[in-house]
Amino acid sequence: MRVNIKFGHLFCCTKWGRPMPGRDANLKTLLEERTEALRACEAGFRNIIDRCADGIVVVDGNGLIRLINPAAAVILGRKSGKLQGKPFGFPTVTGKTTELEIEHGKGKKSVVETLVVDTEWEGDRAHLVTLRDITERKRLEAESEQLASIPRLNPNPIMELDAGGRMIFCNRAAEEVIKNAGMRDGNNPFSPADLQEILRDLPGGKPLQYIRKVEINGSIFGERIYLAPQFNTVRIYANDITESVRAEEALRFSEARYRALHRDNPTMLATLGTDFTILSVNPACASQLGYATDELEGQSVLKLFYEEDRPAVIEQLRMCLQNPKRVHRWQFRKVRKDGELLWVEELAHAVYDLNGVLNILLVCQDITERKRVDEEIEILNTNLAARAAELEAAYRELEAFSHTVSHDLRAPLTNIGGYSQIVLDLCADRLDEGCRGYIREIYRGTERMNQLIDTILSFSRLGRGELRREPVNLCEMAREIAAELQVTQPERRAFFSIPEGLTVNGDPKLLRIVLENLLGNAWKYTGSRENSQIEFGVAESAGKQAYFVRDNGAGFDMDEADKLFIPFQRLHSAEGFEGYGIGLATAERIIRRHGGRIWAESKPGEGATFYFTIPA
């Protein structure tokens, strides 16, 4: 399209170029009239352009603005006087509507729609550009599009039906439900069968809303159905409430289970109000107190407690209410319906119920039997303390006896031995051999008596000292004792078998006494053998390590094994084998102090094996 914007073009001529005297005045008048009309037309045209709501800009062939109305200046964000003759700066494609984004500074932008047509300006080719600010329209369109997308993108099914029950709108979520339900398009899996009757019964009435649940392929949907008879449509909003329904079912099941646990629990359970009234009690609690549940509910719990304990019970319950986050424990006496007393231990916890009311939960346990046992244990402890005092007194008496033996008994023996030696030294030449033998026997007897006194004193001290445990290498200790034994009788042919690395945790001094006694016995009772065999080692007994000393000596009859570890009991005669019968009793006492045990196996003439254990 081409527009010619010229406000007037007037040709004045005379016939053949000559003046026409009669017409000049008329032409001049006509010219003035036409010029005035053109000025009025131009003024009107300018007024129309200036008042136009859309922007109008005339751009010449060089892209410069020749004409711009106020609306265009406002759209472009400048004053028209400053834009006149300036470059337009925007595309001018003829016949095409274009949307431009114009920045005005400080983050402000506007969207402008332009339309360009060809025209002429003062005889030259130009472009007429119309500008329209569509920023607000774009915003409204975007909002409208966003609002329109809400039901379409809603994750919950949304459907709209007409009066005949036909689908007129269905979002994606509803399409998936219909698809999964195996229904044809247009079917309504949500609407009730009486949909059309409702619409007919409510012509022109108010909108109606009701809610129901439907199940489709294992999923449960909650529907909010809006009936709008005046628009003759129905809109259905649904959401998948499978999880919430299952949660409700689980809650109902949990409540039923709690009621069953409360009813069938063998432990005594009760709930109290803040005034100590029994709100609920399980059958076990009522039965153990000799009541039925309805005899206790609504009664004060204080009636169940022994009268002397009630003030303390009240104080404890008040503390429980003042500290609801703590679990309180106490023991009191309760009175059964038949008057019998029983001790109970109670756990109490103050909690708020669903209505925000504070209650006290009680869990009770009958501890009457435990109290009786505790009393018996207390009596036993008292008796034990008395027995310990008696033992302490006995130990003191033993110490006094040891002092007597050590001083009062040893002094006469020393005198007898000394005088015997003096008689032999001074009178030996005047005595016959028989008398000298008697005096020597008296002297040896005093020596043996002194050794026996030392042995008895050592045995009595075993239970008095402190047991000090540390790692002990039994093999090294056994080799040292074996070397000492061989020095005493170097002429004997004896073979010791001792391994490496047997270590226990015990008192080294006491364990050395054990090995000295066991290896010494093996050395003594193999003295008649031409080749003595003595072995120290370890074996397994009842899943534990048992250390042993084995020999090929005289052995003993197992029928007399119960005498082995009794002080001063001997299985062989003193003439054949020296000793006092105290060594094995000493070893047994030391092993017992370490928490172990000692035993023996033997046959007469085939040697003996002594076992002992040392717990870790």
Dump pLDDT digits (tens) for 425-444. Answer: 888 788 888 888 888 888 87
DSSP 308: G
pLDDT of 543 above 80: yes
Tens of pLDDT, residue by residue over 604-615, are: 888 999 999 998
Alpha-carbon distances of 578 from 87, 132, 521, 574, 582, rounded to whole Å: 138, 135, 10, 5, 12
To which CATH superfamily is domain 265-366 assigned? Answer: PAS domain (3.30.450.20)
Q: What is the pTM of this model?
A: 0.38
What is the Cα–Cα distance from 186 to 165, expressed in whole angstroms? 9
To which CATH superfamily is domain 467-612 assigned? Answer: Histidine kinase-like ATPase, C-terminal domain (3.30.565.10)
The count of other CB atoms within 10 Å of the CB of residue 557 is 10
pLDDT of 13 above 50: no
Q: What is the mean pLDDT of residues 367-394?
A: 87
CATH code reported for the domain at 15-138? 3.30.450.20
Closest by CA position to 510, among listed 474, 552, 538: 474
Closest by CA position to 360, among listed 461, 281, 466, 454: 281
Which amino acid is it at 404?
Answer: T
Helix (H, G, I), strand (E, B) or coil at 613: coil
The CATH architecture one would assign to domain 154-245 is 2-Layer Sandwich (3.30)
pLDDT of 352 above 80: yes
Which amino acid is it at 456?
Answer: I
83-92, 132-141, 288-297, 450-459: lowest mean pLDDT where? 450-459
| 265-366 and 154-245 share a CATH fold | yes
H helix intervals, 428-507 = 433-461, 474-488
Domain coordinates in residue numbering, the chain:
15-138, 154-245, 265-366, 373-459, 467-612
* pLDDT, averaged across the chain: 78
What is the Cα–Cα distance from 417 to 419, expressed in whole angstroms? 6
Which stretches of 154-251 are assigned E, i.e. beta strand? 158-162, 167-170, 208-216, 219-228, 233-240
Q: What is the mean pLDDT of residues 439-450?
A: 79
Categorize the per-residue pLDDT at 455 as very low, low, confident or very high, splitting at 50, 70 and 90: low
pLDDT of 538 above 60: yes
What is the Cα–Cα distance from 169 to 113, expressed in whole angstroms? 34
pLDDT of 527 above 80: yes
Handedness of CA 444, 446, 447, 451 (dihedral sign): positive
Give me the residue label for tokens 């036409």: 34
Give the relative orientation of helices 508-525 and 474-488 as an angle to the nearest 10 degrees. Answer: 40
317 phi and psi angles, rounded to 5 deg = -65, -35
pLDDT of 132 above 70: yes
591: left (phi over 0), alpha (psi -120 to 50) or beta: alpha
What is the Cα–Cα distance from 117 to 127, expressed in whole angstroms? 6
